[in-house]
Structure 1
């Protein structure tokens, strides 16, 4: 029986995807599968690798369709073909430890109603995505326990933390969701697993609303990778951010537009950011499905200021401020504009050069560790955290 399906949507990043597939294939278990949903212009590289080089029955390929699919539709078809009792989605430049199946089985014993599992993630930049000195990070917390859906809803829908990004790691992207919960989501929201062009954060919204019991692990089970061709690479370059957004908009045309008059912030603006992309998704969900947004306006103004404070230079700061200011001036007739008061730009004191512990994460200079893929970094990181085999065997206590 397939207990876990790892969905791997991919588009035109075949070299990275093949390395990710090869790393997943090193796992010994037979109770997981990897479903590669190829949306590339050239189907040959992945078809050749999976059919003639790997030849592993645990790996299945969904070939590209006649025309390029919006990302949300590629995710949708991956879920439709998944066979697992549980499902996870990762990027083609990421990594997830297939031994997660053992953790899921143990959680099912300890927490009978669990239908969503989240965890902290390691983060890693591929060698081709280091235009400045970069740090990889390893969460070092070890506890596990139930997550309050009320608290998560407050963080995600109303941005109660007032940070540039809600600290909500719940959802099918780098999380494991029980198939029964995904079917419940499909029944409750338009007959689809995914609707919005930004399916990862949309999934977070829907899981929080529909899950019976969410269990969160402070111990990481996956790595968020960022290659030079990834959307995550935009975090290190405003020019890359602009190009990625243009590509994203061109390839995500569908029934739900990213441009909405009720939340008139533009991703086409040169100062657009991941913070804004998340807010566009969460506000769409709340307004579409009648979720209470009390407090969101003021909180988002503070989150926008926090985003501006993370600028690396004056030009980036000016562009972000202009983008947010334009949106706040137009949103609800400027109702929240007075709350957006970004502090003057201050150059960062350090540029990702200091290794060490901070905010329950071990940060290490990537140039010094020799890991060339997320999987290699995961194996490096495991030396600093509780061994997976100990967690699965129960020799380590699951408790916060």
Structure 2
């Protein structure tokens, strides 16, 4: 029986997808599958890898007769999967097949759980690192349920948000039941995915429809950033305009919310704001009382930059959009501060259940290698059930 389908959509980044799959196939488990949706111009690298691996757990969907949009590529993967649960990751990411064990333990305790998430781990590939980088790892390992009403507040009211909503329950770096994904398709647009920000649009729908949610605080996947990643546009000003323009051109239809004057390429907060507001507008959901929290998140988006000129430009653009949207009085909630201090040594060590480590630790060369390293530092997956007894 296939418990989990791990979906990896990719376009012209074959080496990254291959590396992720190769590390997953080291697992001795036989209750998961890897489905690579190849949207590359050259199908040979992944095709050759699949043939060489000769592993029934690995499946490739070949490129179509034309380049697909990201939405189209994600959409076509689902019918090719067989798992009871489904997760998606990027080709430069990684997820541990031991997620199957967490699914087994969680469903044994909460039979109606539809959505499972876990702690976050981040990795910048060596080709994208310009200097030393410090990353964080959560060290706690409790398994617990979350209330739908609290997740609704986090997602739609931006409660406890950083520069984005603090709601990790979705299909991207989370896993949901196949039955829930089918319910999403039937309830909303007749599609599994319908918005360019596939992850946050999916979270909106999961939070609306899922019955129960379980979170394991320990990381089970790695958010990777390689040089070719869209995430690099948030880190490198020289790439931002090109990557943002390409993404928005591909996903322009149905992306923007009405009456929401924030340029979608302004920052992650603005982009997610369009996703959530577009979802609410399309499906007749009217809410108020979230605006101040969103404005505070805009300020935090400004504060993520380490470049003073970029900070000033982003602060000015957000300020103009906020004033147009809610009037100048709304700017009272918008007070970003430039916080980057390169002369201050970066902290390395343990603080409040978070481990701060040098990303170059272990000299790892990929997200899969990095996960193998941190896996040995974190609470063992196979001991979770015993801990709960």
State the TM bucket, normalised to the shorter chain: over 0.9
Cα gap change, 1:346 to 1:87, in 2 (>3 Å): closer
CA distance in structure 2 between the aligned counterparts of 1:46 and 1:351, rounded to whole angstroms: 44
Partner residue in 2 for 1:308: 302
Q: Secondary structure at the match of 2:363?
A: coil
Partner residue in 1 for 2:380: 387
Partner residue in 2 for 1:97: 96
CA distance in structure 2 between the aligned counterparts of 1:94 and 1:314, rounded to whole angstroms: 30
Alignment of 1:48-67 (within 5 A): 48-51=48-51, 53-67=52-66
CA distance in structure 1 between the aligned counterparts of 2:353 and 2:285, rounded to whole angstroms: 32
Name whichever of 338-347 and 187-196 sits farther off: 338-347
CA distance in structure 2 between the aligned counterparts of 1:33 and 1:328, rounded to whole angstroms: 46
Q: Secondary structure at the match of 1:131?
A: coil
Partner residue in 2 for 1:230: 229
CA distance in structure 1 between the aligned counterparts of 2:247 and 2:285, rounded to whole angstroms: 27
CA distance in structure 2 between the aligned counterparts of 1:354 and 1:155, rounded to whole angstroms: 29
Alignment of 1:306-385 (within 5 A): 306-331=300-325, 334=327, 337-348=330-341, 353-385=346-378
CA contact (8 A) 1:171 1:200 kept: yes
Q: How far did residue 252 of structure 1 move? A: 2.6
Name whichever of 226-235 and 116-125 sits farther off: 226-235
Partner residue in 1 for 2:3: 3
Q: How far did residue 181 of structure 1 move? A: 0.8
CA distance in structure 2 between the aligned counterparts of 1:313 and 1:64, rounded to whole angstroms: 39
User: What is the TM-score when the length of structure 2 is the normalising length?
Assistant: 0.94
Structure 1 gap segments, 5+ residues each: none
Cα gap change, 1:336 to 1:357, in 2 (>3 Å): farther
Partner residue in 2 for 1:297: 291
Cα gap change, 1:330 to 1:164, in 2 (>3 Å): same
Partner residue in 2 for 1:183: 182
Cα gap change, 1:339 to 1:385, in 2 (>3 Å): same
Q: How far did residue 17 of structure 1 move? A: 1.1
Cα gap change, 1:69 to 1:337, in 2 (>3 Å): farther
Partner residue in 2 for 1:195: 194
Partner residue in 1 for 2:280: 286
Cα gap change, 1:234 to 1:7, in 2 (>3 Å): same
Q: Which runs of 4+ in 1 moved over 6 A?
A: none
Cα gap change, 1:343 to 1:121, in 2 (>3 Å): closer
Q: Cα RMSD between the aligned structures? A: 1.9
Alignment of 1:263-282 (within 5 A): 263-268=260-265, 272-282=266-276
Alignment of 1:42-191 (within 5 A): 42-51=42-51, 53-191=52-190
Q: Secondary structure at the match of 1:395?
A: helix
Q: How far did residue 343 of structure 1 move? A: 4.0
